[in-house]
Amino acid sequence: MTKDDIIANLRAENRALWETRMQQGVPAITTLYGYPLEAIMDMIEDHETRMDKTPNATVQHIIDRVCVEMNVSEAELRGRSRAKEIARARQLAMRRLYDEGPEWSMPRVGRVFDRDHTTVLHALRVWPEGS
């Protein structure tokens, strides 16, 4: 959906408001719900840019990097092993994935590794932010 589509949808939903403003002779609309239109355009563009990132590429990149750093295989990292070295590597991968952005919730990170969100919570406690 483009920025113009979003604004058109907002105009359609609030037709009475727009018609009243036009009848009052308001020459141009510069704000929407109290936000300047430029700020809304920037938010939409930022959202579209973040959505263009392929989540699977991000996940694979993080897993590959952690596997090299911690000297474990991807199968071990995604597996069920509870060996200390493998568990620590998995926890580091969980922390880095969680730090990728607000779209990565604990349940979502847990689903990548076939684990519960409480396992991710433990990983976040073990590895401090920025690890």
Residue 114: its pLDDT value, please? 93
Spatial separation of the C-alpha atoms in residues 34 and 42, rounded to whole Å: 15
Residue 128: its pLDDT value, please? 86
Mean pLDDT by 10 residues, the chain (131 residues): 72 66 61 72 69 70 93 94 95 93 89 93 89 67
Residue 9: its pLDDT value, please? 72
In contact, 99 and 84? CB cutoff 8 Å: no
- Domains of the chain (ranges; CATH) run 3-52 (no CATH), 55-126 (1.10.1750.10)
Residue 41: its pLDDT value, please? 74
Residue 65: its pLDDT value, please? 94
Amino acid code (one letter) for 60: Q
Residue 20: its pLDDT value, please? 66
Residue 43: its pLDDT value, please? 75
User: Is this model's pTM higher than 0.85 or not?
Assistant: no
Packing angle, helices 3-13 and 15-23, rounded to 10: 80
Residue 31: its pLDDT value, please? 67
Q: Cα dist. 100→35, 51, 94, 113, 114 in Å? A: 27, 13, 10, 16, 19
